[in-house]
Structure 1
Amino acid sequence: MKDERYQKLKDIIKIYLPDDISVEDITMESHFINELNINSANLVDIVLDVEDEFDIMLENEDMDRMQTVRDALQIIDTKLVKE
């Protein structure tokens, strides 16, 4: 289940990766802005896609906490448990 969520998240992120970063570069520890070079506008798009994909609502504080891929997965897991 967690692997499936991780794969879905990677599928969302890869759309927004710049040309010099590949999907193979995405790890649990990848920092969206510092390592994956995703700008803040694209990070908002990722959040919206995550909301659609997992049918959850993310608050501003969730977005602030979403620094790495692992953070994103933990937030998704927490939201799915609450639903």
Structure 2
Amino acid sequence: MQKEERYKALEAIIKVYLPEDVGVDQIGPDSHFLQELNINSAHLVDIVLDVEDAFNIRLENEDMDQMQTVRDALAIIDRKLA
């Protein structure tokens, strides 16, 4: 899976959990999950679970702590897939 494919897959996961006041067009590499995308912490856990399923990886607590932005999530996914 190429970087662009991974980004699109992650974007598809994130958009499910966006609140009504945030549009899909606001998702970008530097978007902060909590501050910019207004994703609550419970939904962030759901995103982590969906990422694990979609990419067939296991995220540890320290990975979740580091996952602040979309770019962070992609870096963690890349590292786990390497």
Alignment-derived partner of residue 50 in structure 1: 51
Q: Which residue of 2 aligns with 1:6?
A: 7
Aligned to 1:35: 36
Letter of the structure 1 residue corresponding to residue 64 of structure 2: M
Structure 1 vs Structure 2: percent identity of aligned residues?
69
Q: Could you tell me the TM-score, scaled by structure 1's length?
A: 0.97
The answer for unaligned runs of 5 or more in structure 1 is none
SS for the counterpart of 1:3 is helix
- 1:24 is matched with 25
Instruction: Extract structure 1 runs of 4+ deviating beyond 6 A.
Output: none
How many Å separate the matches in 2 of 1:67 and 1:2?
Answer: 19
Superposed CA deviations along residues 21-74 of structure 1, whole A, max 9, x for unmatched, are 111100000000000000000000000000000000000000000000000000
CA distance in 2, matches of 1:25, 1:65: 21
Q: By how many angstroms is 1:9 displaced?
A: 0.2
Give the Cα–Cα distance (whole angstroms) in 1 for the partners of residues 23 and 4 of structure 2. Answer: 19
